[in-house]
Structure 1
């Protein structure tokens, strides 16, 4: 009986037999050739055959807290397996893309990955917005997961209107520090993935003030939680935003600042700089600050295409087997 439950529907088999081309050839073409096809199949088997990456209890039966804990367990195992592939000489960005995006990632973590923004936004921002010295300071720590970061831009009152962000970073030349502050409730960062419990650092986008003048939004690296105890640092108001309609394992959070001080070199200064005396050195283009968001928008389009492929296949298969009215035996 168990074997019969997994038999292919005769209606689906009939439709497949009508195919006028070799499906394997088309699949290999879409994958970029036979070699890429074999790599993908091998990679899928490596991850999907691992019993530890399967949930013992269906997600719909778990509490909100349990969903997050299960997602953290799977995410840690996923990235250990990615590192294993790299150590075996089978690495490459394809592994990260599939694990973080809408392919393997969505198959194993259908309700979201709480560490995705660490790799997709935090590290790329360090690479794209930091100086050589800042990259040397932060990227190795982030890549080894000695620190876990997120990208805190969106605020409760400001989503797509980025120029209107209210979080401020005022430079104090006496101590060579920036003072981050959330002047209103709507200035609270709202929605960053991984912020709720996972991240202990963030790239925070704030309005830069120095020498009494606002110079618009700039990115800053900010420590949020103690690296040993994981407790929020003084002046950091942080937590999770709670249940959502979907992606409840992503661990979206909120973040507010009560006059939190960070060193001057925690401002990412590849494009714009603030000198020790507070002098502002303008970027060649203010648009460079948006580099991370442009990159992520491209990733979102790629993932959307993957999800559309999946939806199209599901709809096509369903249309082949759905019967209207009473089922009559042949």
Structure 2
């Protein structure tokens, strides 16, 4: 008699194992993230420990580039300018966006979809176009000065991008115009999730518009505020193209920011090591500030 054929148990494949499924789905994204984000960051960290012009041999200098940055007045000034831009890119858009979003939410403006598209429009316009347009607006004979002269404020007319005291706020105001629509849209989306019954109950209790805002609206959109601050702070600290196309870091060094310093040191001064050190310091600052914003938002939630 022939022995019965034993069926061999098939081992479960790796693909069929539910334990490995999440990693398999994440693997392509992790590969792309590692290739285009982590690897350049690691290379920049490596370059920051060398004295290198971008061509030829490099000399290992350890942390000397970072020590030089600590004593560099131009770099400290660039950091100060970046924090000034944070006020225009993050704080002002948040304050204005909160006020306008609350007014629109309370007033139930018709055509909200069209209005949201209009206020978000600066986000989809190429920054090169934005820079050229605002250079024309800020020109000595541009629309802004013509308007000031027309209303009798001739003493306020000036070359906005050519004066050291006015250039940085002028660039910052462009950032306010750019980011205000994004912040306002995020806050409107958050306010749209608040049930109308909550506002009706507050009004029955005699709450006014200001009390409604601080007791209901503001706590409900805390997550959107944190998101808006993270996005706008990153935009402020990594601003390069707007500065490069409007002022070129000038007049003098009045509008120089760390991201512009990376470009200047790498391509104008041919000091790749110092430029990489600036980039690493800027990355750490962005990470620390946004980590602090996120932690504060989570703690107060």
TM-score of the superposition, structure 2-length normalised?
0.24
Q: Which has the higher strand share?
A: 1
TM-score of the superposition, structure 1-length normalised?
0.22
Larger Rg belongs to: 2
